[in-house]
Structure 1
Amino acid sequence: MQNIRLLIGRTSSVGLCYILTTVVDGRAPLLADDAAAALAIREFNRLDQEGFTRSIAYVVMPDHIHWLVELRAGTLENVMKRFKSRTALQVNRSLGRIGRFWQACYHDHAIRSDESLYRHAMYLTGNPIRAGLTTQLGEYPHAWCDWGVENCSDLRSCTETDG
């Protein structure tokens, strides 16, 4: 069942950047599998190539994804439907499983300035450190940022949790 609160005020504007987050059903760590994570990353790239999005940063965590993206065509809903349906089919097949893969909802947050865009990208790429999956930016194999992690001038701000 979709959480109606996530739909309140949702708009899709081509040209705006968004952080999109979606969670594996039941928070199962199905994306901890390297092949499964690679399939999700392949789908980010595919949506870029199809002209719907321009990826700026992403991280595929064991039980969820964060994707910082510029919407280039269509709506957020359409992009997420494509992403979730394609990855669910591919990952389920890869893992030899059937059934629901993603939770029904997703979260979106519009980014309103270039400075905020960079800050959000660096925060997103620090997610694996905060989760204890790695100790350094750039070590986690399922994270990417258009700026590259070497350009993060303040490592501490990238890896701390919001207070």
Structure 2
Amino acid sequence: MVLSLGSAGVGLLSTASSAVGPSVLWRLGVGSTLCLLALVVLMKQLLSSAVQDMGCIHSRRRIEQLRSGGTADPVLLLFTGLALLVCGTTLLSLTESDMLLSGVTLLASGGAVVLGVMAYGVMVYVQGRRNMRRRRRQRVRVYTVTGQRNRPWRDSTSSQSNLL
């Protein structure tokens, strides 16, 4: 994702020098936006990797959440997809035919990213509901064996383990 966003941004920025009129401004804007998006995605990946490698977090659940990306990855991908949709729509709104291919490519890739994040969200939701149903079915039954308690203040743990 970082490579494709960065190369698309650099490609648009490099073609801005040969364009004339308002197309130059749109190419500069969209190219800069794509490069900034690549930088944001890269920084998020580097940050989560650095936190994971430094050992700042000791909770096993949080480490697994960092490895999987947690909730930040889908939000970042959704933001990136929506930005690609906006950039593609902007380039398609220009009247120049040389921006048609770039606009369609950005629009298609943005739509694919947004649909992918939506499908991932639905999959996580369904899996969470399925796990919740399994937990409800698996009720734990605890049987206790206790002896006579003459002194209620005494710790009964050792006496209970002796009965077993």
TM-score in terms of structure 1 length: 0.27
Compare the two structures and name the one with the higher strand fraction.
1
Higher relative contact order (CA 8 A, sep 6+): 1
Compare the two structures and name the one with the higher helix fraction.
2
Greater CA radius of gyration, 1 or 2? Answer: 2
